[in-house]
Structure 1
Amino acid sequence: MKKWISPSLLISTFALSAIGHYANWDHTLQFILSAVAVVFVAGFLGRATESVAHYAGQRLGGFLNATFGNAAELIIAFFLVKEGLYDMVKASLTGSIIGNLLLVLGLSLFAGGLKHKIQNFNVTLAGLNGSLMIVAVIALFVPAMFFNTHSITENDTDLLSLIVAGLLIASYLAWLVFSMITHKKFLDDVTADSDEELPNEHAPVWSKKRAILYLVLATVMVGFVSEWLVGTLETLTERFGLSELFVGAFLVAIIGNAAEHSAAILLAMKNKMGAAVEIAVGSSLQIALFVAPVLIFASYFMGDTMDIVFTAIELVAIGVSVFIAKSIIQDGSTNWYEGLLLLAVYLILGVSFYLV
């Protein structure tokens, strides 16, 4: 998808969404235009990121793909926090985590497995990713348990949320040091066939300076279209009788993840499953260990702290996703049937969220 998103097409899509917003068109139409614009802008952002990643190397390139792949989700969530829509924020974070672990990873395993019977990647990295996912589940489960059993007050919950958020950010920064500096060579993906190349191993479309310029420009554009999208969500939920949980966990999350889908699937089909897992699982970890905590601190500085207490439904969805994803990737080997299992779990959760 990224390859045919030219600057002219990007600007046209962005301009149409802007006209719809400032001309105050019907909110449903505005939502559709903004959603399409987010997908196109995020796709272009991914293309720019791949070009920058070409100059940065494989490990840093994978980190950049995960980071800027989450840019749309982070910015959308920031505007939701600004509007005080905390339940939808938590739902969108839940959707981003389960979307990456089940939908993105599932499609990657399925598509890659159809072309290559067995795909291998670094088993050490798989084990560490699994441990980090469990830490994320613990960090979300503990505050909810203490709050829902009335063991702590609401004020104490806000304090606990800030402390947990700080610890998660520290853990994520330590992970970056561990994976990119102190133990970088142990985590490199060396199991894929040497005759298959990553897309960003080819000569990039743009020069380094132009790629960085497009990266900055696309990030700014994501900010605008995300704000326009958020402005239509309340009307959309009321008009179609959708729950905030479903809108946040599936509609917003799928729109925000669109750019990552094509990148991870293409990498898997090139038999670079390690890089595909880096995008899918790495994005989920980044959401849980960095994006969510940053949003909690952002809400604190805005004067109304968003706690880290997720609902039982959200916790179950995240826990189930982590459990099945960890069990599948922990041996460093995948196939198409395992991808199908992940997709089945995603559909089960999707139907359940829709009926809430």
Structure 2
Amino acid sequence: MQNARSTPGASRLNATRDAVIGEIRNAPLLSLLIFVPVVLITEMVSPEAHTLLFFLSVLAIVPLAALLSRATEAVSTRTGDAVGGLLNATLGNLTELVISLAALQAGQYLLVKASIAGAIVTNTLFMLGGSFLLGGLRYHVQEFNRVSARFQACLLFLATVAVLVPSLVGNVDQGAATLHKLSLGLAVILILVYAMGMLFSLKTHRELFASVSEASEEHSSWSLATSITVLIVVTLFVALISEVFVRSVQAAAEGMGMTPAFVGFIVVALVGAAAEMTTAFSAARANRLDLSVGIALGSASQIALFVAPVLVIVSYFIGPEPMSLQFWPGAVAMMFIATMAAALLSNGGRGAWYVGVLALAVYAIFGLTLFLLPPASPS
């Protein structure tokens, strides 16, 4: 009889444990959580093993990102569209944000900017193209809401313009002070535009963004307390692993013949988006291309209009110096081309497997170019 009752804290902890164990059974990807303690132990025992720590931290971040995505989704389904949209804006790309904050604090601005540009390009080309390809291999033609896709593409175009302007100002030598003031002002504008975009899509014109797919709405089995507990605990672990990742990335990249720009643009972007990719690809295979397109373009616009401006503002408090929105010319060109590709791919409201091949080919061209021709100097 003594064990018949338990304290609320113990019950919540047991519920969280059972929820995580259940998720691991349903998602084999989460079995990689074993690498979380392995990374922390290795970092204490052999802190100079940079290459090993780099690979182990990558393997550890992937399942943590999956858990963050799952917990964010569970919270959003229980708080309504408005609050859920705000949570998705804040937490949807939390993995990339935490990694970037760690790099920002270490003064690795090239890695931060490469991860921002890479995340935008990865979501608009690799994730979107992969969804078209995998869905198209099962279904002859798939349809999605092109109004929603065009809306996200327009937001991406705005963000690309905001990045292009300080890059042009930097090239004509207007001075660092002017560049930082301009970047700070643009950051505020982008955040305001993103907030109003959420109001437009979730409140005033939500009927325009209805899914064209016939699929039942799935509700999470996690309680709100369990979801919030998982969010807090996993975020702490992501922060710890991100510090190890940032400390090891430069030496590991040099040892493997890669530059920080390539690592940020390709590796960090793919690792941070691993959980979202799994959901997007699975949805495409289930003939829910609306969901896949929404995840890919929504995540890209979220990074461009929310994560990047937040990093600019936060750099005034935790960075060695303020970070600007000036990117190297190649990154600006790749983001612009990816944005145009997203607009063209989503214009018809239909997807097929060869469309995915075209998007993946552009992504492969960018990756190969960046590996062989890295930025000449930090930006």
The question of a shared fold, defined as TM-score above 0.5 by the shorter chain, is answered with yes
Offset from partner CA, 1:182-234 (integer Å, 9 cap, x none):
11122121x11x2x345xx1x53433321222122222221111111111011
Rounded Cα–Cα distance in structure 2 between residues aligned with 1:318 and 1:11: 33
Q: For the residues of structure 2 that align with 1:238 and 1:279, how far apart are their CA atoms?
A: 33
Q: Which residue of 1 aligns with 2:323?
A: 306
For 2:137, the equivalent position in structure 1 comes to: 114
Counterpart position of 2:13: none
Kindly indicate whether residue 176 of structure 2 is the aligned counterpart of residue 159 of structure 1.
no
Equivalent position amino acid for 1:295 in 2: L
Distance across 2 between alignment mates of 1:341 and 1:66: 29
Deviation of residue 181 (structure 1)? 1.3
The Cα of 1:79 is off from its aligned counterpart by: 0.7
Q: Distance in 2 between matches of 1:67 and 1:107?
A: 25
| Residue-pair matches, total | 348
What is the aligned partner in structure 1 of residue 344 from structure 2? 327
Shift of 1:20: 1.1
What is the aligned partner in structure 2 of residue 36 from structure 1?
A: 59
Alignment partners' CA distance in 2, 1:92 and 1:211: 27
* 1:265-284 equivalences in 2 (<5 Å): 265-284=281-300
Q: 1:119 to 1:344 in 2, by over 3 A?
A: same
The residue type paired with residue 329 of structure 2 is A
1:213-224 matched pairs, under 5 angstroms: 213-224=229-240
Task: Note if 1:285 corresponds to 2:301.
Answer: yes
8 Å CA contact 2:149–2:294 kept in 1: the answer is no
Separation in structure 2 between the aligned mates of residue 67 and residue 280 of structure 1, nearest angstrom: 16
* Alpha-carbon distance between aligned partners in 1 of 2:315 and 2:271, rounded to the nearest angstrom: 23
Q: Distance in 2 between matches of 1:69 and 1:24?
A: 33
- Per-residue deviation, residues 10-64 of structure 1 (Å, max 9, x unmatched): 6533111110112234111111111100001111222223333443467876775
| Residue correspondence of structure 1 range 1-12 to structure 2 within 5 A | 3-4=26-27, 9=31, 12=34
Matched, 1:13 2:29: no
Q: Distance in 2 between matches of 1:159 and 1:330?
A: 36
Report the alpha carbon displacement of residue 241 of structure 1 after superposing the two structures with TM.
Answer: 2.6
Change (3 A) 1:116 1:11: closer
Contact 1:66 1:279 in 2 (8 A): no
Q: Residues 44-59 of structure 1 correspond to what in structure 2 (within 5 A)? A: 44-56=67-79
What is the correspondence of 1:128-147 to structure 2 with a 5 Å cutoff? 128-147=151-170
The residue number in structure 1 matching 2:368 is 351
Distance in 1 (CA, whole Å) between partners of 2:197 and 2:74 is 24
Contact kept? 2:81, 2:202, Cα under 8 Å: no
Q: Supply the distance in 1 between the matched residues of 2:128 and 2:333 (Cα, whole angstroms).
A: 19
Residue type of the partner of 1:113? G
The TM-score, its normalising length taken from structure 1, stands at: 0.91
Ranges in structure 1 where 5+ consecutive residues have no aligned partner: none
Deviation of 1:266 (Å): 1.0
Residues 221-264 of structure 1 show CA distances to partners (whole Å, capped at 9, x for unaligned) of 21111111111011112222312211110111111111111011
What corresponds to 2:103 in structure 1?
Answer: 80
Distance 1:266 1:107, change over 3 A: same
User: Does the CA-based 8 Å contact 1:109-1:339 persist in structure 2?
Assistant: yes
- What 5-or-longer segments of structure 2 have no aligned partner? 1-22, 374-379
Q: CA deviation at 1:177?
A: 1.1
Q: Equivalents in 2 of 1:280, 1:6: separation in Å?
A: 20
Give CA deviations for 1:318-345 in whole Å, capped at 9, x if unaligned.
1111111110102222111111111010
In structure 2, relative to structure 1, the CA distance for the partners of 1:274 and 1:61 (3 Å cut) is farther
Q: Structure 2: how far apart are the matches of 1:179 and 1:271?
A: 23
Q: How does 1:161-200 map to 2 (within 5 A)?
A: 161-189=183-211, 191-192=212-213, 194=214, 196-197=215-216
Computing the radius of gyration from Cα coordinates, the structure with the larger value is 2
What is the distance in 2 between the residues matched to 1:182 and 1:58? 12
Do the aligned partners of 2:125 and 2:342 also contact (CA within 8 Å) in 1?
Answer: yes
Query: Take 1:22 and 1:131, find their aligned partners in 2: how far apart are those partners?
Result: 47
State the SS of the aligned residue for 1:252. Answer: helix
Give distance in 1, aligned partners of 2:285 and 2:161: 34
Decide which of 239, 256, 268 is 2:255's aligned counterpart: 239
| Residue 92 (str. 1) matches residue 122 (str. 2) | no
Shift of 1:156: 0.4
What is residue 15 of structure 2 aligned with on the other side? Answer: none
Q: Is the 8 A contact 2:93 2:303 kept in 1?
A: yes
